């Protein structure tokens, strides 16, 4: 149980390097199991979810080494051992081991995945994809098992895009005989990163980033070296904090086009935005105006993961902002905590109407999920007085040293475990 303490009112100035992407490295680590090889990954963020995933790989007899932001996974000795449920149930991405195990061993078993409480998070699309490739699925209250002595290529169609289900389908299809075509695939950049990693492993994949992906099997390589893409949501979080606090902040090692829906919104709020090859610079006087309507959509639409932090940046903006959360039915729980700081928010089902207020006042609040917790930090940095955030290891799941980064920019913030 960690505690964040912050005193608002400081402007933010400086340059920060953004971490490797949590939502890219987690599927990539599962993918390292698909064939017996030695994988060296660079730009791996130091996060609880990454540590948890490395423990799962070790339970499967992989040899894992960590040296700062470099991780080496030797999956040649891997065996289909049972994995303790407490490792699997802590995060959503553990479900990706089902596709990776099935590809490697012809069978797999995972505990029901955990992860942020954002409303119902079914896995029906994951299971349908594995069944299309010949998997026999058995579901109990606690576990999901897949048996597929021979995976065969097929046409997987997703009626609605799912990042995780697209990733699970990719992992299993690498071991399938013949071609697999995925239509209705999610287009998030993290899927492109997974494709690039699987290609480095020897897979023949095309189309990631579009809604149609083709996989034609794999010619395994013994050694794989790969660098994880930047975390677009961590970058968005820092930019939203800078916009709300006011100042001049440059985020380095980002892919500007991965952030463009967020920077477009911040520009419309009155911020200055300058993009370089792998940088985004934001200037703000801290007096923002409403961006109007923000509707979360599958990529390339506005990312649901950035909704909470942009909403926090709108709390003192002039005018009324309408947030429509179309991806997760339970992703507005941070609004209740933000109201304790004096925010004017009216929530109706999946819509939040935020009316800008002149002042926010620090208070004791609780992080309800990863990005909602980050929203509390953004709001606390613009509130008068002290804000204390109780964090049941939620924020640290997804952000590497967020306290250090914000302090380096001039924020008065501390985090203690
Ligand atoms: C990934 O979650 C990300 N997590 C989430 O980030 C992100 O918000 C989400 O994609 C965006 O779509 C990781 O990559 C680890 P989905 P995922 O499957 O794969 C429904 C963060 O804060 N659905 O794309 O679980 C689902 O309920 C996290 O970093 C089904 O109905 O999301 C949701 O409404 C939070 N059946 C929609 O699809 C399924 O089988 C999109 O979910 C799967 C999903």
Q: Which two tokens stand for residue 68?
A: 């700062």
Ligand 1 neighbourhood includes 305 CB (under 6 angstroms):
yes
User: What burial letters (b/e) apply to 381-403, b meaning 16+ CB within 10 Å?
Assistant: bbbeeebebbbeebbbbbbbebb
For ligand 1, the distance from its centroid to the CA atom of residue 51, given in whole angstroms, is 21
Which residue's structure tokens are 């955030």?
A: 389
Q: Does the structure show a pLDDT above 90 at 288? A: yes
Average pLDDT over residues 289-301: 98
How far, CA to CA in Å, does 415 sit from each of 3, 235, 391? 6, 20, 9
Catalytic residue among 37, 116, 146, 174: 116
Which ligand 1 atom minimizes the distance to the CA of 115?
Answer: 35
Alpha carbon separation from 236 to 146, 183, 233, 263, 328 (Å, rounded):
37, 29, 5, 8, 19
Beta-sheet strand order (sheet of 136-139): 107-111, 143-147, 136-139
Specify the ligand 1 atom closest to the Cα of 118.
35
Instruction: Please indicate whether residue 116, judged by its CB atom, sits closer than 6 Å to ligand 1.
Output: yes
Report which DSSP code applies to 78.
-
Burial of 216 (0-12, 13-18, 19+ CB in 10 A): middle
Beta strands in 49-193 (DSSP E): 63-67, 70-74, 107-111, 136-139, 143-147, 155-157, 180-183
Q: What integer pLDDT is reported at residue 85 of this predicted model?
A: 93
Q: State the distance from the centre of ligand 1 to the C-alpha of 283, rounded, in angstroms.
A: 32
Task: Evaluate: CB of 250 within 6 angstroms of ligand 1.
Answer: no
Which strands sit side by side in the sheet containing 279-284, from one edge to the other? 12-17, 247-252, 279-284, 272-275
User: Which tokens in the block code for residue 151?
Assistant: 């995976």
Residue 112: the pLDDT is: 87
Q: Decide if pLDDT at 120 tops 90.
A: no
Transcribe 122-142 into DSSP letters. --HHHHHHHHHTTPEEEE-SS
pLDDT at 327 over 90: yes
Please list the residues that pair with 64 across neighbouring strands. Answer: 73
pLDDT in tens, 369-408: 999 999 999 999 999 999 999 998 899 999 999 999 999 9
Could you tell me the CA-to-CA distances from 183 to 160, 189, 397 in Å, in that order?
A: 10, 17, 31
State mean pLDDT over 266-290: 98
Which H helix or E strand runs over 272? strand 272-275
- The mean pLDDT of 33-55, rounded to a whole number, is 97
CB 411 within 8 A of CB 7: no
Residue nearest to atom 38 of ligand 1 (CA): 162
Mean pLDDT of all residues in 316-338:
97
State the pLDDT at residue 72: 98
Whole-angstrom Cα distance, residue 327 to residue 180? 27
> For ligand 1, is residue 165 a contact (CB within 6 Å)?
yes
Spacing, Cα 162 to ligand 1 middle (Å): 6
Q: What is the pLDDT of residues 157-183, one digit of tens each?
A: 999 999 999 999 999 999 999 999 999
Which are the contacts of 348, defined by CB distance < 8 A and separation ≥ 6?
none
What per-residue confidence (pLDDT) applies to 123? 94
Task: Reply yes or no on whether the pLDDT at 118 is more than 90.
Answer: no
Cβ neighbours around 289 below 10 Å, total: 14
Q: Using an 8 Å Cβ cutoff, are 398 and 4 in contact?
A: no
Q: Average of pLDDT values for 296-304?
A: 98
pLDDT at 54 over 90: yes
Write down the pLDDT at residue 256.
Answer: 98
Lowest mean per-residue pLDDT among 83-92, 151-160, 194-203: 83-92
What was the pLDDT predicted at 114? 80
Percent of the chain past pLDDT 70, that is, above it, reads: 100
- Contacts for 70 with CB less than 8 Å, ≥ 6 apart: 40, 41, 42, 44
C-alpha to C-alpha distance for 334 and 407, rounded to whole angstroms: 23
The reply to whether 116 belongs to the active site is yes
């Amino acid at each position: 149980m960690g505690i964040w303490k912050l005193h608002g009112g400081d402007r933010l100035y400086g340059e920060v390097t953004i971490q490797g992407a949590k939502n890219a490295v987690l599927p990539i680590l599962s993918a390292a199991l698909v064939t017996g090889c030695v994988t060296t990954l660079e730009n791996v963020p130091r996060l609880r979810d990454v540590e948890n995933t490395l423990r799962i790989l070790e339970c499967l007899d992989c040899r894992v080494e960590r040296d700062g932001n470099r991780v080496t996974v030797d999956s040649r000795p891997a065996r289909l051992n049972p994995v303790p449920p407490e490792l699997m149930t802590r995060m959503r991405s553990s479900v990706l081991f089902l596709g990776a195990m099935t590809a490697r061993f012809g069978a797999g078993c995972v505990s029901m995945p955990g992860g942020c409480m954002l409303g119902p998070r079914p896995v029906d699309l994951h299971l349908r994809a594995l069944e299309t490739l010949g998997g026999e699925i058995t579901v109990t209250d606690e576990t999901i098992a897949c048996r597929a002595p021979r995976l065969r290529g097929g046409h997987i169609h997703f009626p609605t895009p799912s990042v995780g289900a697209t990733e699970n389908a990719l992992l299993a299809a690498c071991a399938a005989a013949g071609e697999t075509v995925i239509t209705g695939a999610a287009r998030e950049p993290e899927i492109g990163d997974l494709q690039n990693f699987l290609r480095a492993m020897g897979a023949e994949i095309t189309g990631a980033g579009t809604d149609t992906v083709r996989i034609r099997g794999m010619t395994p390589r013994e050694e794989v070296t790969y660098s994880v893409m930047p975390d677009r949501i961590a970058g968005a979080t820092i930019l939203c904090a800078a916009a709300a606090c006011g100042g001049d902040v440059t985020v380095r090692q980002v892919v500007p086009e991965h952030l463009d829906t967020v920077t477009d919104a911040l520009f419309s709020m009155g911020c200055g935005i300058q993009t370089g090859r792998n940088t985004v610079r934001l200037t703000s006087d801290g007096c923002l105006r409403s961006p109007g309507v923000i509707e979360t959509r599958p990529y390339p639409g506005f990312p649901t993961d950035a909704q909470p932090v942009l909403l926090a940046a709108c709390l003192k903006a002039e005018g009324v902002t309408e947030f429509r959360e179309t991806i997760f039915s339970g992703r507005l729980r941070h609004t209740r905590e933000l109201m304790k700081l004096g925010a004017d928010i009216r929530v109706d089902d999946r819509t939040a109407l935020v009316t800008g207020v002149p002042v926010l006042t620090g208070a004791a609040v609780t992080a309800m999920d990863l990005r909602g917790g980050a929203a509390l930090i953004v709001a606390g940095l613009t509130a008068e007085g002290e804000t204390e955030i109780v964090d049941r290891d939620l924020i640290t799941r997804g952000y590497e040293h967020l306290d250090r980064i914000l302090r380096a920019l001039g924020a008065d913030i501390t985090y203690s475990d």
